[in-house]
Amino acid sequence: MTISSGGWTCYFIMGMSFGASTVFIPQIRKEANSDDAISESTASWIPAIMVYSGLPWTFILPIFMKYIGRKYTFMFVSISNLISFIVFYFSVTVNQIIISQVINGINTGSHFTVSVMIITEYTSPKHRGFFLTVKSATLFWGIFMSNAIGTFFHWRNIGLAGIICSAYGLLIAIVLPESPFWLATKQRYERAADTHRWMMGFGKQAETDLEKLINYQKNLNLEAQKKKFELKGYIIGYLRIVSKRQFYKPLVLCLIVHSLYIFSGKVVFSVYAIDIISKITAGHHISPYTAMLILDGVTVLCMYIGCLVAKVLPRKKLLIGSSLVGIGFLLSISLYAYLIKLSLVVENNYFAIFLLIGYSMGLCFGPVILTQTISGELVSIEARGLSSCCMDLSSKVLLGTLVKMSPFLFKSWGTHGAFLFFGLATSFFLFLIYVFLPETKDMTLQEIAEWMKGTKRAPVVQEEMNFLPQEKK
């Protein structure tokens, strides 16, 4: 759990960065006594720039992980987080805040390539799903923290909290051992076994998982040794990899799951919470800030409850069931806003908050906590770096574009039209998930890879693991 908390910290920090713009933009405008202090265009770019600036790192970080390992790549990300929040804390202009967001893009670029790999490779299959769902919940805990600090204190205090969290993440990176998976890919089998047993113990299941890992990598390394390195052959090799069923099938499934989460509008709602709540509760009987904190609190609480539920229920059933609830409330909010526009119903702030709470609860029990869990388990084991890069790049382009375009969407289509769009888009991707997504609960990464390949068991080198004594001390 201590090691996993390092990956959680990256998500907490990303949540703080997303949530910061919700509160520091109104504060800066109020201090300047003018909305021109931060224009509408700039306000939409601030959260989006953090996503877009992470795009190059979706290519760079997998290279780092392949050649210098998970440990030192995670250390690099932690140092960049620390620098980002130091710049944020001492910022006196909007441009300096944007610079801090650009630096924070390194962390954004790491959320699937580094953070997820650390949790999936450093935890047992029994606890992996729970730790991954907690990680997803931590993102919105970070948003809640930023919103709470910005509501009651000056926005600079968000930077101070970020510095403390970044320092903790760096400490975890320093004490973190290297990944047994990465060590095995480098044919350092004895050290891989040492690290695996240090983390997982000497139990029967742990030893079985270790044996599968070592034999699987030995098989891949033997195949690689038979081939001489040539640029043309290297390119052909990559093309051969991406054309394999076990590469493109999990990648497409991951894209569908991520699209469900992104088009559900949960991230958009978190970034533009004040504006959206103000539109739905135009009577202002409830302060938008109060409503925002209530919804953030409900979101975090439901996500942690969802983490416990996900430990018991099958992933696919939980994802589909909770998504249906979220879609129901999305369409209800759309209908409610449209009826108000037509003056057919009287506006009721408390009913609007009830609909938003139901929407948040539905998504928090499913797409929010399970997206990264399922993606981390499905991603191709034979080309994890390339798969992670493609997955992260696609999801970030989609998320950044949607975040940037959402203000225009709400302005052009109205609140009812925007929520209708989110509801219909989510319904489409949920149908694809119902048809094609497999169940991955309690399966090892090797077993999932075998399923994607279409075989019950992947071919491995069958030999005894006698490279290191297995005596308990």
The helix (H) or strand (E) run that includes residue 418 is: helix 384-436
241 located within any domain: yes
Domain CATH for 70: 1.20.1250.20
Say whether 286 sits in a helix, a strand or coil: coil
Span 180-192, mean pLDDT? 79
Q: How far apart are CA 85 and CA 77, in angstroms?
A: 13
Helical packing angle, 384-436 and 40-52, nearest 10°: 110
Asked if residues 38 and 31 have their Cβ atoms less than 8 Å apart, the reply is no
pLDDT over threshold 50, residue 473: no
Q: What is the extent of the structural domain holding 424?
A: 2-182+236-453
Residue 3 has what pLDDT? 67
The per-residue DSSP string of 115-128 comes to HHHHHHHHS-HHHH
211 located within any domain: no
86 located within any domain: yes
Residue 275 identity (one-letter amino acid): D
Residue 231 has what pLDDT? 58
Residue 460 has what pLDDT? 40
Q: Mean pLDDT of all residues in the chain?
A: 81
What's this model's pTM, rounded to 2 decimal places? 0.75
**Sign (positive/negative) of CA torsion 12, 17, 18, 24?**
positive
Residue 256 has what pLDDT? 93
Q: 163 vs 155, 160, 417, CA distance in Å?
A: 14, 5, 40
**Sign (positive/negative) of CA torsion 1, 11, 143, 101?**
positive
126 located within any domain: yes
Q: How far apart are CA 109 and CA 10, in angstroms?
A: 10
462 located within any domain: no
Q: What single-letter DSSP state applies at residue 178?
A: P
Q: What is the pLDDT of residues 48-106, one digit of tens each?
A: 888 888 888 888 888 888 888 888 999 999 999 999 999 999 998 888 999 999 999 89
197 located within any domain: no
User: Helices in 437-456 by DSSP H: which ranges?
Assistant: 445-453
pLDDT over threshold 50, residue 236: yes
pLDDT over threshold 60, residue 252: yes
Residue with tokens 């739905």: 280
206 located within any domain: no
Asked if residues 172 and 94 have their Cβ atoms less than 8 Å apart, the reply is no
Residue 439 tokens, joined: 């169940």
pLDDT over threshold 80, residue 230: no
Confidence of residue 220 (pLDDT cuts 50, 70, 90): low
Residue 321 has what pLDDT? 93
Where is mean pLDDT largest: 28-37, 310-319, 420-429, 461-470? 420-429
How many domains does the chain divide into?
A: 1
Span 267-288, mean pLDDT? 77
Top pLDDT among 195 and 148 is at 148
Residue with tokens 């009987």: 285
Asked if residues 259 and 427 have their Cβ atoms less than 8 Å apart, the reply is no
User: Percent of the chain at pLDDT above 90?
Assistant: 21
Where is mean pLDDT largest: 53-67, 107-121, 157-171, 445-459? 157-171
Q: What is the pLDDT of residues 139-171, one digit of tens each?
A: 888 888 998 998 888 999 999 999 999 999 899
How many other CB atoms are found less than 10 A from the CB of residue 154? 14
Q: What is the pLDDT of residues 341-396, one digit of tens each?
A: 888 888 888 888 899 999 999 988 888 888 877 887 787 666 666 777 788 788 88
User: Backbone phi, then psi, for 18, in 5-degree steps?
Assistant: -65, -45
311 located within any domain: yes
pLDDT over threshold 60, residue 456: no
How many other CB atoms are found less than 10 A from the CB of residue 128? 24
Confidence of residue 324 (pLDDT cuts 50, 70, 90): very high
Asked if residues 322 and 365 have their Cβ atoms less than 8 Å apart, the reply is yes
Asked if residues 380 and 254 have their Cβ atoms less than 8 Å apart, the reply is no
